[in-house]
Amino acid sequence: MRSSSILLIVASAVVVVLLAAAAGVYLLFFRGGGEGVAASTTLAATSTTLTVSSTTQTSALETTTTAVAAGSGGAATAMEALTEQLPQGWISKLVEDGQTAKTYWAGPLNSEWATVFVVQLAEGEGWVVTDSYPFQGGSDVPAADQEQAAYVVEDFLRAVQEDRADDAHALTIEPFALDPASASYSNGDFLSFSIDGVEPVGDGTYWVLTTEEWRYGTGTWRYRVVPTEAGWMIQDLEPR
């Protein structure tokens, strides 16, 4: 009887040990494994979130940098770029005209041409003055106001004839600047023009008289030219 009791106790102890071991294995492989998967999922999600955030910040930085580079230092027209560099009271004359590069003579009123300016079209930036050097020669700047007024109209009509609408518009002010004719293209229809005379208005401004031959007919016009801080500008246009 005593031996049977001992054997029963031993057997019971073995069963308890086996049950405890089984429970430990369960906790280790099943529950522990589940926590490991959850932790792994959490880390992966965190890593993905950080990656997306980093990509977004980089894209924003690149966009800002591109925008700054595209708009740095350029002007909409060659004339605007040149005007920003001219001393007050100076006027200019276009002497070499290209699609992406233009050369101007510039100098003070009632004097001689003093400086040559080269203005170029930089891709993504606009027109910029890329070079300037002393003028070599003895050509005089137009001294009389009438000559300056006539020259502005001549330059305007030449720009229209050559389809340089932006350059033409840069020589105008309101109300004429609001008229589509101030920035028009000839598309080969503007054949020739002549300056027929300059008439003083009496207030320091002038009417410049022109004859213009277009493919569809010939017209006579007069341009009102006025002095401004930026030089002589065309203020109005009407038939005559």
Tokens of 188: 């080969």
- The distance between the two most distant Cα atoms of the chain, rounded to a whole number of Å, is 145
Query: According to the model, what pLDDT value does residue 89 have?
Result: 77
pLDDT, tens digit, for every residue of 190-210? 999 999 999 999 888 999 999
Is the pTM higher than 0.95? The answer reads no
> What's the whole-number mean pLDDT along residues 84-97?
85
Residues 6+ apart with CB under 8 A from 149: 198, 205, 206, 208, 225, 232
Spatial strand order in the sheet of 231-239: 190-200, 206-214, 217-228, 231-239
**Mean pLDDT, all residues of the chain:** 74
Q: Which residues contact 19 (CB under 8 A, 6 or more apart)?
A: none
Confidence of residue 22 (pLDDT cuts 50, 70, 90): low
Confidence band for 101, pLDDT divided at 50, 70 and 90: very high
Average pLDDT on 92-109 reads 86
Of 52 and 225, which is predicted with more confidence? 225
Backbone angles phi, psi at 68, to 5 degrees: -65, -45
Q: What is the pLDDT of residues 104-120, one digit of tens each?
A: 988 887 677 889 999 99
Higher pLDDT, 23 or 122: 122
What is the reported pLDDT for 12?
A: 60
How confident is the model at residue 123, as a pLDDT? 84
User: What is the reported pLDDT for 74?
Assistant: 84
Higher pLDDT, 231 or 100: 100
- Predicted pLDDT at 125: 84
What is the predicted pLDDT for the residue at 90?
Answer: 84
pLDDT of residue 88: 82
The residue whose two tokens read 């003895």 is: 138
Residue 98 CA to residue 217 CA, distance in Å, equals 28
Q: What is the phi/psi pair of residue 24, to 5°? A: -65, -40
- pLDDT tens readout for residues 24-51: 444 444 444 443 333 333 333 333 333 3
Domain ranges of the chain: 1-70, 73-143, 144-240
pLDDT at 47: 35
Residue 68 pLDDT > 80: no
Q: What is the mean pLDDT of residues 129-135?
A: 91
The predicted-structure confidence for 148-187, as pLDDT tens digits, reads as follows 899 899 999 999 999 999 999 999 999 999 999 999 899 9
pLDDT band at residue 135 under the 50/70/90 scheme:
confident
| CATH assignment of 144-240, among 3.30.43.10, 3.90.1150.10, 1.20.1260.10, 3.10.450.540 | 3.10.450.540
